[in-house]
Structure 1
Amino acid sequence: MDDFTPEQVARGRALRRAQVPWLLAGRLAALALSLVLGLTPAGAGLVTAAGGLFGGSRTAEVLAGAAALVLLGQLLGLPFAARVRVVRGRYGLVTQGWGGWAVDALRGLGLTLLLGLPLAYGLYALTAWSAQDWWLPAAGAAALLTVALSFLHPLLFEPLFNRFTPMPPGPLRDALHALAAQDGIPVRQVLVADASRRTTALNAYVSGLGATRRIVAYDTLLAAAEPREVELVVAHELGHVKHRDVLTGTALGAVGAAVAVAVLGLLLSWPPLLTAAGATDAADPRSLPLLAACAALIGAVSGPAQCAVSRRIEARADRHALELTADPDQFVAMQRRLAVTNISDVDPPRLLELLFATHPSAVRRIAAARSWQQT
């Protein structure tokens, strides 16, 4: 804590206390809505009513029901997201107007529908083939889709929310390319994301697999940080590539998606759940809210374990950055700058960290860097 002034510590804690209740309330509200719709006849009624607006066929019920579930979830989440945005705006972390925020929300909704409706259609085509064994081909398809989305994300989805321009030639770009070459990692491009039109927060990342791999730095990071600090951030991100975190994460995600589908197949064959949901079997479109509720519950239960794995991965990437640059002092300076500019709670309550944090706290990262320095 000695690395931060009392004012910086207090500011980070105040932001956390102001926004975390709204973030948690939004998650709980979304989960509660899913459970109410999935475990009572209300969801079945929603699917039937939505399908009836488009002719009442089985296909209409699947597609309109899926769309209705997505829209309800988005509408429920909007007040909580808006409140978090207001809080962050009071701390100077938001640069985007409400109009831009609304456009981003609509883009996100459109993307969710674009991906979700074909998935729902395909899934219920499989349940029509077999109400008992549908999950076998669905599990394989879920694994393949996870891999495909990981590869396509930087090419198709990232440009929907940010504009990317090549970093101008100069010492920093040369240094980042040299850092990647020193690490033995081929990088196609070094790009700058126009994050400043939304936020003042600092970040950088390496995205893509193989031919799509590129280093991306926020323009906010380039404007606020020293060049060596930018290198340290990128060295951390290169650590994810060096340890094949993206590839391993994609593989584990594919396995996890397949296992989740298998669990969903088991749950949707359990008569008490189907009766509670007002559905006859997995092939009945009225089981769609039950499917969504079970998926949401699986995600909520597995969240802390995923966060624990993520923190270990991030700590390993920190060690990689230190080993690659051999510059612990600048690493500490970089962690200070990130924490202060992003107004992070540098030492949050342990329970919150265990349940929700994907990265170690700033205090822990700095302590680990100093420990590394002494070895």
Structure 2
Amino acid sequence: MDDFTPEEVARGRALRRAQLPWALGGRTAGLLYTLALGLTPAGAGLVTAVGALFGGSRTAQLLAGTAALLVTGQVLQLPFSARVRTVRSHYGLVTQGRRGWAVDILRGLALTLVLALPLVYGLYALTERSPHGWWLPAAGLAALLTIALSFLHPLLIEPVFNRFTPLPDGELRSALLGLARRDAIRVRQVLVADASRRTTALNAYVSGFGASRRIVVYDTLLTTAEPREVELVVAHELGHVKHRDVLTGTVLGAVGAAVAVCLLGLLANWQALLSTAGATDAADPRSLPLLAACAALIGAATGPLQCAVSRRIEVRADLHALELTSDPEQFIAMQRRLAVTNVSDVDPPRLLELLFATHPSATRRITAARAWRPPAG
């Protein structure tokens, strides 16, 4: 860890130790709450009670029950996320006021409701039509929806949380577009995201497919990093495009969504489990908390595997950035700047990295850059 001063290493570790209990506590509390509702009659009672407030029909139970599960889950998470935000504020990583933070939470909740309510209604229309075989068409629809959301995300969802402006003409814009041309990647435009109104953290990414593809750079990165370091960050992100990581991730996500729905179908047809949850069959709106609990368990169980795949993809993107730029020294400088500015733990405990990290640690990425050699010829 000679690339970082003892003070920088200690600062990253202190932030990790301060926020980790609250971050994990929020995850654990959310999972336990979902299981408590889904694996006991309490969830069925909640669906029945809130449905009665809106007339008590099957549709009222479904829609009001879904909204109640989402809203109460969000309320449960608030103390934990607020504490994580406070900790990060002490380290200078938060620039957004409480009002803006609250607005973002409400935006996210509203967006979730807009997506979830029609999905749940459609899902239970299938269960009503075929209480035992609903999961087969639902699996196909889940896969199609995953693909559709991946395409629509940069166009419809990203603008809900950020404002984007074109990067002005100049050397940096030309350099970034030049990197894309050398990579034979079609990029429509280079945009700047107004991340500074929320955070001081640095980042960039490439989003969209085909004609909608664009390079997005945080304004914090432009004002903090050297132009060459910005190029290295973007070269890494272009690596994801070059290796079709977004497309592959979308396909894998679609397959995963379909498999998850199939597992839900098996669990929802297990009569003992339905009885425990206070529901009669999968078409009963009172089974909604049970499906949510099963989905949460599947997500928690597959989380470490998803992280392992993500770390492997990030290593490949790092290699691509080095091959595209042939500049390991600036790559190392870029990794150092990202780690110091984002107050990262540059060498976290291995168990935490295996369970939760989506990227390799800064020390691993720097070590790999030092070992890199240009391909022969």
TM-score range with shorter-chain normalisation? Answer: over 0.9
Alignment of 1:251-266 (within 5 A): 251-266=251-266
Equivalence map 1:237-256=2 (5 Å): 237-256=237-256
Residue 51 of structure 1 corresponds to 51
Structure 2 equivalent of residue 95 of structure 1: 95
**Paired residue secondary structure (1:373):** coil
- Amino acid across the alignment from 1:144: L
* Residue in structure 2 matched with residue 282 of structure 1 by the alignment: 282
1:97-132 Cα offsets, whole Å, 9 max, x none, are 000000000000000100010111000000000110
| Corresponding residue of 1:167 | 167
1:107 counterpart = 2:110: no
Alignment of structure 1 residues 210-359 onto 2, 5 Å: 210-359=210-359
Over aligned residue pairs, what C-alpha RMSD do you find?
0.7
Q: Name 1:137's counterpart in structure 2.
A: 137
Shift of 1:209: 1.0
Alpha-carbon distance, 1:373 to partner: 3.3
Local SS of the residue matching 1:205: strand
Question: Are 1:73 and 2:73 matched, yes or no?
Answer: yes
Distance, in Å, in 2 between the alignment partners of 1:68 and 1:137 is 26
How far apart, in 2, do the equivalents of 1:142 and 1:356 lie? 25
Q: Distance in 1 between matches of 2:273 and 2:187?
A: 50
How many Å separate the matches in 2 of 1:36 and 1:53?
Answer: 23
Q: Percent identity?
A: 79
Give the distance between the partners of 1:55 and 1:134, measured in 2 at CA. 26
Match of 2:86 in 1: 86
Detail structure 1 runs of 4+ shifted over 6 Å in the superposition.
Answer: none
1:243-275 deviations in Å (ceiling 9; x for gaps): 000000000000000000000000000111101
Q: Give, as a single letter, the amino acid of the residue that structure 2 aligns with 1:35.
A: L
Q: Provide the residue aligned with 1:202 in structure 2.
A: 202
Deviation of 1:182 after TM superposition, in Å, equals 0.2
Which amino acid in 1 is paired with 2:38? G
SS of 2:216's equivalent? Answer: strand
Could you give the per-residue CA deviations for residues 218-256 of structure 1, whole angstroms, max 9, x where no partner exists? 000000000000000000000000000000000000000
Q: 1:302 is matched by which residue type in structure 2?
A: T
Q: Deviations over 1:54-80 (max 9, x none)?
A: 000000000000000000110000110
Separation in 1, partners of 2:270, 2:317 = 43
Supply the distance in 1 between the matched residues of 2:328 and 2:91 (Cα, whole angstroms): 30
**Distance in 2 (alpha carbons) for counterparts of 1:61 and 1:374:** 62
Q: Structure 2: any 5+ residue segments left out of the alignment?
A: none
After superposition, give the CA deviation of every residue in 1:110-161 in whole Å (9 maximum; x if it has no partner): 0010001011100000000011000111001000000000000000000000
Specify the code of the residue in structure 2 equivalent to 1:25: G
2:323–2:374 CA contact under 8 A, matched in 1 = no
Aligned to 1:61: 61
State the alpha-carbon separation in 2 of the partners of residues 374 and 133 from structure 1.
Answer: 55
Provide the C-alpha distance between the structure 1 equivalents of 2:9 and 2:212, rounded to a whole number of angstroms: 39
Amino acid at match of 1:368: A
| Inter-partner Cα distance in structure 2 for 1:230 and 1:373 | 22
Alignment partners' CA distance in 1, 2:211 and 2:78: 37
Q: Note if contact 2:326-2:374 (Cα within 8 Å) is conserved in structure 1.
A: no
CA distance in 1, matches of 2:84, 2:338: 20
Residue 156 (structure 1) aligned with residue 151 (structure 2): no
Does residue 9 of structure 1 match 2:9?
A: yes
Which AA in structure 2 matches 1:317? A
- Count residues with an aligned counterpart: 375
CA distance in 1, matches of 2:189, 2:275: 54
Shift of 1:291: 0.2
| 1:374 shift after superposition | 8.1
Tell me the equivalent position of 1:23. Answer: 23
Give the alignment's TM-score, normalised by structure 1.
0.99
Q: Which amino acid aligns with 2:173?
A: R
> For residues 374 and 164 of structure 1, do their structure 2 counterparts lie closer, same or farther at Cα, with a shift above 3 Å needed?
closer
Alpha-carbon distance in structure 2 between the residues aligned to 1:113 and 1:125:
18
Distance in structure 2 (CA, Å) of the matches to 1:357 and 1:163: 28
Structure 2 counterpart of 1:49, one-letter code? A
